[in-house]
């Protein structure tokens, strides 16, 4: 009696495994890029190329390109999504920069106004120290004409700087109370000590 035949196992070639790529991450990187610092220290948002994607994720350029040009369920490909993203990004960036510039302007105007007030107050104090009231009540100046002119010019210049800092013209400017452009100087003068009298 012949021995029973054993079944012959046929070996089939293994199917090549399809490599899985992190497409959601790849797509987000392609659309949004990343913030990078330029040699001058400016922060900008990059727009990676196909070569960048291929190099970073070890994906063939042709595979990335095919995926990028395929429309999603909303009928948009990666390029269209990137365009929409950067349109919003630029608007938000410009708004943020505008706010930062406005804040810097306010800070600069405030510091300029303080400086102008110091100039005016200092000059007025010097002017007042050079004045005396005689026995008849008349005001006499102890300052020489050159010093008097310089201090007067300093008062006026400080006032002009202050008005510009408040975004108001120096000529014919009026404050909220309808007073003329010497209001700032008058307010400073009001806070000075009384006029000295001659002994």
Range 176-185, long-range pairs (CB < 8 A, 24+ positions): 184/117, 184/120, 184/159, 185/120, 185/124, 185/155, 185/159
Residue 118 to residue 126: CA distance in whole angstroms: 12
pLDDT of 13? 59
pLDDT of 38? 85
What would the pLDDT profile of 29-63 be if each residue is shown by its tens digit?
A: 999 999 888 888 888 888 999 999 999 999 999 99
Residue 199 has pLDDT above 50, yes or no: no
Rounded to 5 degrees, what angle do the CA atoms 194, 197, 199 make? Answer: 145
Closest CA to 144 of 127, 165, 158: 127
What would the pLDDT profile of 68-84 be if each residue is shown by its tens digit?
A: 999 999 999 999 999 99
């Amino acid at each position: 009696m012949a021995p029973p035949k054993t079944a012959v196992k046929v070996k089939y070639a293994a199917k090549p495994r399809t490599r899985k790529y992190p497409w959601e991450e790849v797509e987000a990187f392609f659309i949004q890029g990343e913030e990078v610092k330029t040699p001058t220290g400016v922060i900008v948002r990059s727009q990676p190329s196909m070569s960048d994607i291929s190099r970073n994720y070890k994906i063939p350029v042709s595979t990335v390109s095919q995926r990028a040009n395929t429309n999603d369920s909303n009928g948009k490909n990666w390029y269209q999504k990137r365009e929409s993203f950067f349109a919003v990004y630029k608007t938000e960036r410009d708004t943020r920069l505008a706010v930062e510039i406005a804040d810097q302007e306010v800070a600069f105007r405030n510091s300029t106004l303080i400086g102008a007030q110091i100039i005016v107050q200092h000059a007025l104090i010097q002017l007042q120290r050079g004045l005396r009231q005689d026995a008849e009540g008349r005001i006499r100046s102890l300052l020489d004409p050159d010093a008097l002119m310089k201090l007067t010019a300093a008062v006026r210049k400080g006032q002009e700087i202050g008005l510009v800092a408040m975004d108001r013209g120096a000529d014919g400017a009026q404050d909220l109370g309808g007073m003329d452009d010497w209001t700032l100087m008058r307010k400073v003068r009001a806070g000075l000590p009384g006029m000295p009298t001659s002994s």
